[in-house]
Structure 1
Amino acid sequence: MTPPARIQTGIELIEATEASPAAPADAVVNAFFRAKRFIGGSDRRAIAERFWAMLRSEARLRWALERAHAPITPRTRMLAQLLAEGLSPDAVAGLFSGARRGPEPLTSGERAALFRLAALPAGEAPPDAVRFGIPEWLLPRLAARFGAELEREMAAMDAPAPTDLRANLLKATREEARAALAAEGIATVPTRLSPWGLRVEGRRPITATAAFREGLVEIQDEGSQLVALLTDARPGMRVIDLCAGAAGKTLALAATMGNRGRLVACDVNPGRLDAAVKRLRRAGVGNVERRLLAPGEKWTKRAAGGFDRVLVDAPCTGTGTWRRNPDARLRLRAEDLAELVAKQASILDRGSRLVKPGGTLVYATCSVLVEENEAQVDAFRRRHPSFEIVPLAQAWAAVAQGAPPCEGPFLSLTPARHGTDGFFAAVLRRSGPALEGGAA
């Protein structure tokens, strides 16, 4: 494709996302390219990279367009992006020629807007919320969370996320999985914190490799791997993943259990549980029972007090995954946070009833907000004094070597400090007789 054709396709991709405002951007992008299979791989990557860069800069681009008194349309958003990439106004206008499948020539209004955009004072900084690309109401919460590290953390949120893999210990060691990928031309390095992780160097088609198809590796952020690690699920145990989704952490738990014991993957969404079947089969997992938690179900009452480990990977704002989901930033509302905090508390209460005396409950989110993390754990302990916090250093020593990645009682990962998505995990033990086999 020519550069103008790539730009026109990018504009069409923006139009597709605007036509489906409630859909996650990655789902829209995948559907868009599936419908345009004639686009080659290199063109697809170039178009997608520009699109994701625009989403990460969405608030800043809109602020500039408003300052230039320009209408906000897919075409003007592209004009602002091209200027941000360092092109001159004349060069940008030249790309809008209508030739070779490129975008139609600029209207007189668009041309005027382009030159007003280019004339904006270079040193004029937008407000902090715009600069960080977040809703205004969220700024004080993030400032309180990160303090002097706010600038650094928000810059890390703006960077593209790496691709992390988890070696499936049911089929290969990490070094064996790494060698298999290397034989297919995929270079990786071991992750710094997860003993199972591999970080891919550059953007590579992982799902097309034999190593992936044969179940030697799964795509999973290093932070997510650490949540599964801290759950400390061992062979022969009874373990439940209460919010399993498509079973990413379930797969990791099955591997630490060596396919021995009972592992129950629960979710309220039947589509997500159905999607897990293919992943479980590819990974060679044989000890997982899928269970739909439909309204009015009685199973959790019958299973009360029956599990050694209960993982509550709760629905959350996803603020820790903004590197991967930049479109989610500006869609987040204060009422969404309030609704999620209430839902998390309810799920935690439900999960606590499943833990046997001496067993552990692991509460996790992919959020960096105190309300969903430390404050949620504090509130839970006030409601359930029979649960005590297992300090991170103690929980970490049971599952890994060396010092834990965080100070304090909880796992609290951030992109800038740890190079992972933002994850939180608290390990809570229910008082009672210790479990046989050495519970954490």
Structure 2
Amino acid sequence: MTPGARLQAAIELLDEVEVTPRPADAVISAFFRARRFIGAKDRAAVAETVYGVLRRHARLRWWFQHAGGFPITARTLLIADQILAQGRPADHLDKLFSGGRFAPEQFSQNEIRLANKLEGHTLDHPDMPDDVAVECPEWASGLLREFYGDRFVTELAALLDPAPLDLRTNTVKGDRDAAIAALAAGGIEGEVTRWSPFGIRVHGRPPLASTDAFKNGLIEIQDEGSQLIGLLTDAQPGHQVVDFCSGAGGKALAIAAGMNNKGRLVACDVLEKRLKRAAERLRRAGLHNVETRPLSSERDPWVKRHKGKFDRVLVDAPCTGTGTWRRNPDSRWRLLGPGLEELLKLQHSILDSASRLVKPGGRLIFATCSLLPQENEHQIDAFLAAHPDFTVKPVDELWPTAVGTASPGTGNYMRLSPARHGTDGFFAAVLERGSAME
């Protein structure tokens, strides 16, 4: 594709993201599946351009107002991003918008004025409010400011850049050194992660799906923080375990591998399609101690029938996903599911119901990929007040045995952020049930 054709494809894709009520990554995948004639390098370039515009959503729109209130469209957003973020001169960009075959239509008079207004500027500006500069939506700003205080800008700024690519070694298939060697044989450089003993951080965005290490199940794509939640579950061979909100099974895969294929892990979710994807991943990983269980809701009768039967119950609760904004930049601005208030009620109900599965002396692990204390510490406080038979097991005390690396030292709970730990934003609490049930 020519540079102009790449820009036109990016404009079309931005339009689709805007009008399609699905996460941007799903829209982008569908866009390229329908256009298999677009080569790998061109797909990567177009996707990078689109994600760049999505990451700079608030700042670009601020510039439109600052420049005089120009109309915002996919075309004008791309023009502004190319000038402000990529540093392209207006006259060079004008040539790419040539109106030729596969290229964008020529600049309108309004677009010429916009380009001339923006030329010579960069994306940042001293008059830009902090919320805009760190791409924080209004609905989350007050809550995060209250929690982070003078670290608000530092913490939120760390969510602006793309996330690194982390892999988890599947210990059923081999060890981390073997995985790094297998990747290196395919020309992919990786290094050990700081916190997870099974993690590998890969440079760039290599085609992992085509590697032998991926095909034979030696590696799985999983953020380092997510790996740590699986490790804190501390499920042992022979344990009975439930992953209550399993989704596509990323944490279930890690937990099952840690159990060395011994015992039983039940992966539950209300979305059966996700569980089917999990089953495919489990087969590739060589894991056979996992069964999938679709639930009608968090109050499914299956929960009552299995009351008090499990050593470990993981609740990776649905949440706002504020800790994953660097992976899903559009989720800051597009409400595609329940809002915060609905999520808080759902989390409370899920945690209450799932706790029934925990046997005396067993553990309940609650986790989110949220930075908001309302979805994390506050939920634990409310749960403990209503369930006095559960107590907190401090994460710092569990870490040496459950994880085995240097602890990030976050106290009773695991609270990770990109700024402090280089992972996505995650929270985890480990609660142990007393010897007698309510």
- Structure 2: tracts of 5 or more residues without a match: none
- Alpha-carbon separation, structure 2, partners of 1:324 and 1:335: 19
After alignment, is 379-388 or 127-136 more displaced? 127-136
Distance in 2 between residues matched to 1:2 and 1:218, nearest whole Å: 35
Deviation at 1:99, TM superposition (A): 2.6
Aligned pair 1:367/2:370, yes or no? yes
Displacement of 1:148 in angstroms is 2.2
Asked whether the 8 Å contact 2:23–2:336 carries over to 1, the reply is no
1:204 maps to what in 2?
206
| SS class of match (1:409) | coil
172, 182, 185: which is aligned to 2:184? 182
Residues of 2 paired with 1:80 and 1:113: CA distance?
8
**CA–CA distance in 1 between the matches of 2:186 and 2:129?**
47
The residue aligned with 2:102 is 101
* Letter of the structure 2 residue corresponding to residue 313 of structure 1: D
CA distance in 1 between counterparts of 2:401 and 2:329 reads 36
Match of 2:111 in 1: 110
Mapped contact 2:159–2:325 kept (Cα < 8 A): yes
- Deviation string 1:107-128 (CA, Å, 9 cap, x unpaired) is 1122122223337797443222
Partner of 2:33: 34
Distance change >3 Å, CA 402–CA 365, structure 1 → 2: same
Distance in 1 (alpha carbons) for counterparts of 2:138 and 2:265: 42
**Aligned letter for 2:381?**
D
Measure how far apart 1:334 and its partner are. 12
- Residue 331 of structure 1: aligned partner: 334
The answer on whether the counterparts of 2:197 and 2:405 sit within 8 Å (CA) in structure 1 is: no
Matches within 5 A, 1:128-139: 128-139=130-141
Equivalent position to 1:223, from 214, 222, 225: 225
Q: Which residue of 1 aligns with 2:154?
A: 152
Unaligned runs of 5+ in 1: 434-440
Tell me whether 1:46 sits opposite 2:45 in the alignment.
Answer: yes
State which drifts further: 272-281 or 34-43: 34-43
Give the C-alpha shift of residue 56 in structure 1. Answer: 0.5
For 2:150, the aligned partner's letter is A
1:217-272 Cα offsets, whole Å, 9 max, x none, are: 00000000000000000000100000001111000010110110011000011111
Counterpart amino acid of residue 113 in structure 2 = A
Mapped contact 2:195–2:405 kept (Cα < 8 A): no
Query: Which aligned pairs between 1:279-298 and structure 2 lie closer than 5 A?
Result: 279-295=281-297, 297-298=300-301
Following the alignment from structure 1 to structure 2, what is the Cα–Cα distance between the partners of residues 275 and 239? 20
Cα distance per residue 1:326-357 (max 9 Å; x no partner): 00001259971111111001010011111011
Write the distance in 2 (CA, Å) between the matches of 1:255 and 1:120.
52
**Alignment-derived partner of residue 11 in structure 1:** 11
Q: Let me know the Cα RMSD of the aligned residues.
A: 1.8
Match of 1:436 in 2: none
Residues 346-365 of structure 1 mapped to structure 2, 5 A cutoff: 346-365=349-368
Residues 291 and 81 (structure 1), Cα distance of their counterparts in 2 relative to 1, 3 Å cut: same
Please tell me the residue identity of whatever aligns with 2:329.
P
Structure 2 length-normalised TM:
0.95
Q: How far does the alpha carbon of each residue in 1:96-150 deviate from its partner, in whole angstroms, 9 at most, with x for none?
A: 1113521111111221222233377974432222222222231121112222222
CA distance in 1, matches of 2:9, 2:253: 37
Amino acid at match of 1:416: A
- Distance (Å, rounded) in 2 between the aligned partners of 1:335 and 1:179: 43
> Does residue 406 of structure 2 align to residue 421 of structure 1?
no
Structure 1 position 55, deviation (Å): 0.5
On the 8 A contact 2:196/2:405 being kept in 1, the answer is no
Q: Deviations over 1:286-319 (max 9, x none)?
A: 0111111115732111100000000000000000
> Is contact 1:2–1:100 with CA below 8 Å preserved after alignment?
no
TM-score (norm: length of structure 1): 0.95
Report if the CA contact (8 A) 1:17-1:28 is conserved.
yes
- Give the corresponding residue for 1:437: none
Residues 22-79 of structure 1: CA deviation (Å, up to 9, x unaligned):
2100001111111122222222211111111110001111121233321111111111
2:168, 2:222 within 8 Å by CA — same for their partners in 1? yes
Match of 1:92 in 2: 93
Residue 250 of structure 1, aligned match among 228, 252, 269:
252
**Equivalent of 1:430 in 430, 433, 436:** 433
Aligned residues: 433
Kindly report which structure 2 residues correspond to 1:67-86, keeping only aligned pairs within 5 A, or say none: 67-68=66-67, 69-84=69-84, 85-86=86-87
CA distance in 1, matches of 2:326, 2:188: 23
Cα distance in 1 for partners of 2:397, 2:18 equals 48
Contact 2:246 2:252 in 1 (8 A): yes
Matches for 1:381-400 after TM superposition, within 5 Å:
381-400=384-403
| C-alpha separation in 1, matches of 2:288 and 2:119 | 60
Query: What is aligned with 1:438?
Result: none
Mapped partners of 1:88, 1:102: distance in 2: 18
Distance 1:50 1:333 in 2: 23
In structure 2, distance between residues paired with 1:101 and 1:220: 37
Question: 8 Å contact 1:156–1:416 — kept in the other structure?
Answer: yes
User: Which stretch of structure 1 is more off in the superposition, 335-344 or 288-297?
Assistant: 288-297
